[in-house]
Chain A
């Protein structure tokens, strides 16, 4: 690694270099364009859907729905953005920079809340903090209150309540991406600052935080997209976001076009938000110019006494909130239904979930690597925009994105079937629609943003001259990417893998719309048992989801931590 002491050619990319590079990789670029097109297909289908409508819903929406729901959505997003970055960055810094009791356990346990689907978390919070729930019951017993009017208790069914719930289950996105940077970045720039006399707090705020900013933003972007696309939690908590307006326009007023129009507006807003952020940090580049700092770091600062206790508490609270409360609520229900544990249907759902999630993770990471590497080679603004746009599907409610894919795939299927009937005299039926492939495809497209975000965060830490050096020494572009970039990106790829796997295990709306006969995942199992208002019946499967998501978190945290400790 230490041989790469080349001067980084950090001159801004010009159109000229872009062109010559493009000419050098026509095949690679063609493949990239094809993949990008496939990924964009459902989004484009939704846009087409939106423009095929009349706009008849807008007077009503503009007057009675949008002013309120846009405000609510932005307030929710702002609260969740602040909450998740404070919790995510704080915890990441804590476990990377300090030594305190159970730190290694916390390092992976902080990812656990990701395993909890937001709609289940909302339900669990609702029950936990309800008047008849354990918290308020304890308060009443403790202080001798007897009626609801006797004391004040915050209402979870508010925008702030929803923000707390969403923060508790999504902050790990920020935690993971920030941790990757803190781990990969090394401490030597911090050490430089310190040797120059900066106090630790100043080092964090003035050096490390700016360096980690792209990663933090990538994590927050994921959090915000998940918040925007959420339907179940906000519906349960009665918080009227734009996504709720999409559903009521579609389902209650029979206007899918109108729903698609709101979805497109929502996408546009998210896209502008992300682009604005990217523009704001265009001038800032924080590559590490040397590979040495991937290794050998100074030891963590050991905390003791009340400081250690404080660090312990700070790391514990988000885990208890985002993971402990749902586990307690659903664990109790599950204990009442232990017989479900041995149901063959549950085991089948488990296997299907794992298979789907693995396939999705592999596909999403492959696509993300391909797109990002192409962007790295070409390095034009248009290419970066394309990659960004390709991942924006995550901000769309899952059902709407899945509808876009469904319509595109069914067209394709029926087209092939038509050809086969005409020329071969046989019917191919529906090849893709309603096969497991459609589910994997949908999940990979939906969660591409997760893979892209995590890999990109890692990639931004690598100096651009790394693989260029290899190529100048005669390696081909793919070979240098494989031998130089991929190994260095391992932590980022692991992170991407965890994120996509876990989210696919939780995924419900696209799976339920696109699945074939007899295809049951844990999430659909929970839903089928819970949707009649009897969430308890799905509790065992919900615990299975949580358990399934824990395994990769633990497995993959091992290598991640070892990288750091080496």
Chain B
């Protein structure tokens, strides 16, 4: 292939032309378009966007990003094509706002649809769905049907608890809520107790915890509600239905402050080139129609009061969400993350 300088130069020329063609900026700023920068997977939001296009005639362009979404919009600056930002987890929503790439929204439709604990008092971010951080318990080996997060530190569960990494955003948000409720000192004592109760070093994903309970490695696991729905309805891998069948969903603290919930949410980009359309999309996502799609396809809880949850999710029982504003949870994320390091939670149990 590279047997002469000439051929090599020719190769480079071909490359230059290819690269040159690719250089042409993708213009997605025409009329009737809204550009979505999303940390949620396209297949999850596509049904919603399709319904939106059908209703309004406005086309959607989606860019799926992961870590670095706020940094990218910030770097793009005034030329950023981003209109609407969709993401999961309160921490990420706040990170987007902290990067200074959002603008406040004052819109009655949106404000009325979303209860105040699920939106930013300043109007920079809005929750569109919620999910409970619940406890998966072995049907076979756990008799009680109620539980609290606090109980996870009770020595009676020594060697019985499984979880994914303490530094995962879902756990960080839960720990932040513990700090918000109990103060840092007490929360740290609790975390030390939790660490001692672990059956093994934290790892895997939420489903892995259900799998571990099924396998008898532990009796309790921390996980999000919708994973159970996904496992129960996984027809391709029926063994996952067995894992789901081995556990029951316990909603912690149902009898006092309620279960910690996290959100998936949205924000309006600071330099949104299609602001009108962006607002239309944001309104749509909080509409009864969109909320129903979220509930049915993703096994999430709609934020819109009164919107129905899917049958699968109903089968878990009633959720009573913690009313602590998520903005407060966000405040303690850094403290929670440092606490996980300090306690050495991810090292697993001492012995």
A residues in contact (CB < 8 Å) with B: 60, 64-65, 68, 126, 130-132, 147-148, 155, 157-158, 235-238, 240, 244, 247-248, 250-254, 256, 333, 336-337, 355, 359, 362-363, 365-366, 399, 402-403, 406-407, 409-411, 413-414, 417, 427-437, 440, 478-479, 481-483, 486-487, 490, 493, 509, 512-518, 524, 527-529, 531-534, 536
Contact = CB atoms under 8 A, between A and B. Distances in A.
Contact of A157 (B15, B24, B62, B200): B200
Contact of B338 (A60, A235, A366, A513): A60
Contact of A513 (B23, B62, B65, B206): B65
A413 B18 CA distance: 20
B34 to A, nearest CB: 12
B33 to A, nearest CB: 10
Among A155, A252, A366: residue with most chain B CB under 10 A: A252
29 contacts: A68-B344, A126-B204, A155-B200, A157-B201, A236-B205, A238-B203, A240-B347, A244-B167, A247-B167, A248-B340, A251-B92, A253-B337, A253-B338, A254-B95, A365-B2, A399-B66, A402-B68, A411-B75, A413-B76, A414-B79, A428-B25, A430-B76, A431-B23, A478-B5, A493-B2, A509-B67, A517-B28, A533-B207, A534-B207
A351 to B, nearest CB: 13
Given A253-B334, A429-B27, A414 B216 contact: no
B342 interface: yes
A68 B215 CA distance: 30
A407 B75 CA distance: 6
B3 interface: yes
Contacts of A429: 25, 27, 79
B307 interface: no
B64 interface: yes
A490 B25 contact: no
A420 B144 CA distance: 69
Nearest to A411: B75
Given A429-B79, A536-B237, A64 B25 contact: no
B25 A248 contact: no
Contact of B169 (A251, A402, A435, A524): A251
Interface residues on B, range: 35 or more
B230 A532 contact: yes
A365 B348 CA distance: 45
B169 A513 contact: no
B115 interface: no
Given A132-B215, A487-B3, A490-B3, 6 more contacts: A68-B347, A131-B212, A251-B95, A252-B334, A253-B334, A429-B25
B203 A433 contact: no
A365 B11 CA distance: 11
A355 B206 CA distance: 36
A-B interface, 3 closest residue pairs, ranked by CB to CB distance from nearest: A238-B203, A482-B5, A252-B337
Q: Is chain B's interface secondary structure helix, strand, loop, or mixed overall?
A: helix
Contacts of A437: 19, 22-23
B215 A333 contact: no
Given A240-B346, A414-B79, A248 B167 contact: yes
Interface in B47-92: 61-68, 71-72, 75-81, 91-92
Interface in B178-225: 200-208, 211-212, 214-217
A493 B27 CA distance: 38
Nearest to A533: B205
B172 to A, nearest CB: 5
Contacts of A236: 203-205
B26 A516 contact: yes
A435 B24 contact: yes
Interface stretch (B35-43, B250-258, B286-294): B35-43
Nearest to A402: B68
A338 B75 CA distance: 41
A517 B26 contact: yes
Contacts of A64: 338, 341-342, 344
A235 B165 contact: yes
Q: Is chain A's interface secondary structure helix, strand, loop, or mixed overall?
A: helix
B12 A362 contact: yes
A130 B239 CA distance: 13
A434 B26 contact: yes
Contact of A413 (B27, B68, B79, B212): B79
A333 B169 contact: no
A238 B345 CA distance: 11
Given A247-B67, A410-B77, A417-B79, A518 B26 contact: yes
B98 interface: yes
A517 B203 contact: no
Nearest to A356: B22
B73 to A, nearest CB: 10
A66 to B, nearest CB: 10
A141 B253 CA distance: 41
A122 to B, nearest CB: 10
Among A333, A337, A516: residue with most chain B CB under 10 A: A516
A64 B346 CA distance: 12
Contacts of B214: 132
Contact of A433 (B62, B75, B202, B204): B75
A247 B76 CA distance: 22
Given A148-B215, A517-B26, A518-B26, A238 B76 contact: no
Contact of A252 (B64, B167, B217): B167
Interface string B1-33: 111111010011001001100111111100000
B111 interface: no
Interface in B224-239: 227, 230, 234, 236-237, 239
Contacts of A432: 23
Given A359-B18, A533-B205, A252 B26 contact: no
A519 to B, nearest CB: 8
A431 B167 contact: no
Contacts of A252: 91, 167, 169, 172, 333-334, 336-337
Contact of B19 (A126, A359, A407): A359
Contact of B67 (A251, A336, A435, A515): A251
Contacts of B344: 64, 68
Among A147, A337, A524, A534: residue with most chain B CB under 10 A: A534
A532 B207 CA distance: 10
A157 B22 contact: no
A136 to B, nearest CB: 9
A514 B76 CA distance: 11
Contacts of B12: 362, 366
Interface in B317-351: 333-334, 336-338, 340-342, 344, 346-348
Contacts of A534: 207, 230, 234
Contacts of A431: 23, 25
A508 to B, nearest CB: 9
A482 B64 contact: no
Contacts of A403: 68, 71
A65 B341 contact: yes
A512 B72 CA distance: 11
B203 A157 contact: yes
A410 B76 contact: yes
A544 B63 CA distance: 22
A344 B305 CA distance: 39
Contacts of B76: 410, 413-414, 430, 433-434
A433 B65 CA distance: 14
Nearest to B202: A238
B75 A406 contact: yes
A528 B67 contact: no
